[in-house]
Structure 1
Amino acid sequence: MIFIPLPFVVALLLLILFATVLRRDEEVALNLPFLALILVSALQSVLSGLRWGYGVQGVGLAAPVIAAVVPPLAYAGVFTLVKTSRRSLAARIGLHAVPAILILLLATFWRDAIDVALVLVFVGYAVAILLLMRPGADALRLAPFEGAVPAYRAIIFAAAALCLSAAIDIFVFLDFISAHSERALALISVGNLAALVILGIAAAAASRSRVPPETAEGAPRSDTSEDKETIAMVDALMEAKKLYRDANLNLDRLARKAGIPARQISTAINRAMDKNVSQYVNDYRIGEACHLLSATEKSVTEVMFEVGFQTKSNFNREFRRVTGMTPVAWRQRRG
């Protein structure tokens, strides 16, 4: 009977996930680092299957080098959704190649230090990603508002997966030192595969972004009256142009339409309204959805698309957040 190791199955699932992301019919640019992350995760899973399933020890040198590529790709994918300038990321490509080069050198001259180095790389990039996400969903300035919250959660899961992989490496390292290495194989097989699956799914969930032209930003203002003035200007624009109907609307595009720095809009809404910009825009969408559900015979799905949502899960979640009930229950009560 042909033995197919579990890592090969995981690699196949990741490749299917990659193909699914590529086939999405959306008018938005691909997030190349996240797509590369899915492919690298699949390759890492294949190497794991060769080494632990078929005993191919020749992949032992390549596996840690490939592993060192994963955290920089995850960080680059998040950075693409957060920053308006690609040049700042391009300028750091050499810096982000350092972990893989370091692991390659250690594999050649000091193999015993590889585990410690990988732990530091994974934890360091996880912390860097969490620092980028400090403003919450508003940090994803280039992600459409409709998917900002799911993308934010996916990125947090990706950072958690990096920490999980680091924790597994620590445990395996201690297990080998204590001469009880019989547990290491099972832990490597299950734990690392779980981390790869989480990374792949998280990358797919946040794998789309639109990168607009660069916009200049000033320092955020702190005066409450200025916050109200900023919100009033954005309110007027939202009501006159109905920008919230644009499913791909993001913070940078809203800032360009309003002629106000994105950071200023985010700060004003966070401080004066105690909500993020995604919730602010979705409040407008839900407000019009309530009107359409009450005043027209359009289906819930038609209303969902008309007001700017693209998925029922997001529409139902935001509708319940604003009204406390589902769209169907709202229509029945109003009817």
Structure 2
Amino acid sequence: MIFIPLPFVVALLLAIRLVEMLRGEQPLKSNRPFLALIALCTLQSLAVGLRWGYGVTELRYVLPVLASCLPPLVLASFRSLIYREEAQAGTTRWLHALPPIVMTALLFWAPALIDFALIALFVGYAIAILNLGRTGPDALDDARLDRVLSAHRALVIAAASLCLSALFDLAVFMDFEWSKGKNVALMVSNANLLGLLLLGLTATVAAHARALPSPATDMNDAAARAAQDREILERIDHLLVKEKLSRDENLTLSRLARRAGVPARQVSGAINRLSGKNVSQYINDFRIAEACRLLRETDISVTAAMFESGFQTKSNFNREFRRVTSLSPASWREKNRSL
């Protein structure tokens, strides 16, 4: 009977998912990080099967390097679902190439440190990934609204999978210390592959949360884009005024976009193009208008008006008040009460 290692079965499952995504409707460019992640999980599963199923010992030099590529790629994949992260990631992207370089160096000069380096790498990136989604589904502000919950769950599972891999590496190290690697083959063929399979499947789920790019004709048609911008701004104004969302001190672009049912990038673009202001300034204009109404029509203190209108710090409130009215809150109240 032909022996088929379990890692080959996992690799086959991941390869099937990869082919399905390549043949799907999602553009390949938008899904590139997730496609690369699934491909890497497939390659690593094959390497594990050859190393521990068929005794190809030469792969012991390849497996640590492949493993070190996994955490940065997971982080990059989920960063692609966060609009504000794109610009930030560009300036530090080269740093994520260091793990495989460092791992290669350790193979030649300090192989005893490889297990500890992998554990630190996996746990560190798991924390970084959880930090991306620390505010919940709203953090994934460039994901499709109907898939954002599943994408956020995939993010948490991916971080847990990295921690599982770190725990597995620790178990392998302890097995070598206690029984000279007697159980390593069995452990590698089962425990670690659960992490790879989870990463591959969560990547598939999260990839489907990528928003499709707007049709080129919409972006090239200035009239259509202007009409779309006006419609978006009307929704935003309704939320800020009628539903008093501007008074929410925890309001963010992603929350505002989600309430409007519009991607955050479109909200930001519409506000920039039609008002000439950034989102923060636009929202603060509504807050200052409410603060002015309170200062003019009521006897509450300036501090109370600040909190009621949605501001949390005096410095920000005073700065924005002067930007809009050219006066301090107290001076504005005195001038407008005397009219």
- Place the TM-score, normalised by the shorter chain, in its bin: 0.5 to 0.7
**1:136 and 1:226, CA in 2 relative to 1: closer, same or farther beyond 3 A?**
farther
- Secondary structure at 2:24's aligned position in 1? coil
- Secondary structure at 1:81's aligned position in 2? coil
Question: In the aligned structure 1, how far is the partner of 2:266 from the partner of 2:146?
Answer: 14
Whether 1:177 aligns to 2:196 is: no
Aligned ranges 1:1-335 → 2 under 5 Å:
1-26=1-26, 30-84=30-84, 86-179=86-179, 181-208=181-208, 209-210=210-211, 228-230=244-246, 244=261, 249-257=262-270, 261=279
Listed as ranges, the gaps of 5+ residues in structure 2 are 215-239, 252-258, 273-277, 288-307, 309-339
**1:255 and 1:48, CA in 2 relative to 1: closer, same or farther beyond 3 A?**
same
TM-score normalised by L of structure 1: 0.66
**Residue 175 of structure 1 contacts residue 184 of structure 1 at CA under 8 Å; is this kept in 2?**
yes
TM-score normalised by L of structure 2: 0.65
**1:178 and 1:227, CA in 2 relative to 1: closer, same or farther beyond 3 A?**
farther
Question: In the aligned structure 1, how far is the partner of 2:151 from the partner of 2:280?
Answer: 19
**1:231 and 1:257, CA in 2 relative to 1: closer, same or farther beyond 3 A?**
farther
- Secondary structure at 1:188's aligned position in 2? helix
**Residue 75 of structure 1 contacts residue 128 of structure 1 at CA under 8 Å; is this kept in 2?**
yes
| Residue 225 of structure 1, CA deviation | 8.8
Question: In the aligned structure 1, how far is the partner of 2:25 from the partner of 2:103?
Answer: 39
For residues 30-64 of structure 1, the C-alpha deviation after alignment (integer angstroms, 9 at most, x for no partner) is 23112101000000001000100000001110110
| Residue 4 of structure 1, CA deviation | 1.7
Listed as ranges, the gaps of 5+ residues in structure 1 are 214-223, 235-241, 273-335
Amino acid in the other structure paired with 2:98:
V
Give the match for residue 326 of structure 1.
none
| Residue 199 of structure 1, CA deviation | 0.2
Rg larger in 1 or in 2?
2
**Residue 71 of structure 1 contacts residue 122 of structure 1 at CA under 8 Å; is this kept in 2?**
yes
**1:27 and 1:34, CA in 2 relative to 1: closer, same or farther beyond 3 A?**
closer
For residues 198-230 of structure 1, the C-alpha deviation after alignment (integer angstroms, 9 at most, x for no partner) is 0000111111424989xxxxxxxxxx9998253
**Residue 271 of structure 2 contacts residue 282 of structure 2 at CA under 8 Å; is this kept in 1?**
no
Question: In the aligned structure 2, how far is the partner of 1:262 from the partner of 1:92?
Answer: 26
Task: Give the fraction of aligned pairs with identical amino acids, expressed as a percent.
Answer: 39
Greater relative contact order, per chain length (Cα 8 Å cut-off, separation 6+): 1
Task: Output the aligned Cα RMSD.
Answer: 3.3
**Residue 142 of structure 2 contacts residue 263 of structure 2 at CA under 8 Å; is this kept in 1?**
yes
| Residue 151 of structure 1, CA deviation | 0.3
For residues 113-148 of structure 1, the C-alpha deviation after alignment (integer angstroms, 9 at most, x for no partner) is 100000000000000001111110000011011100
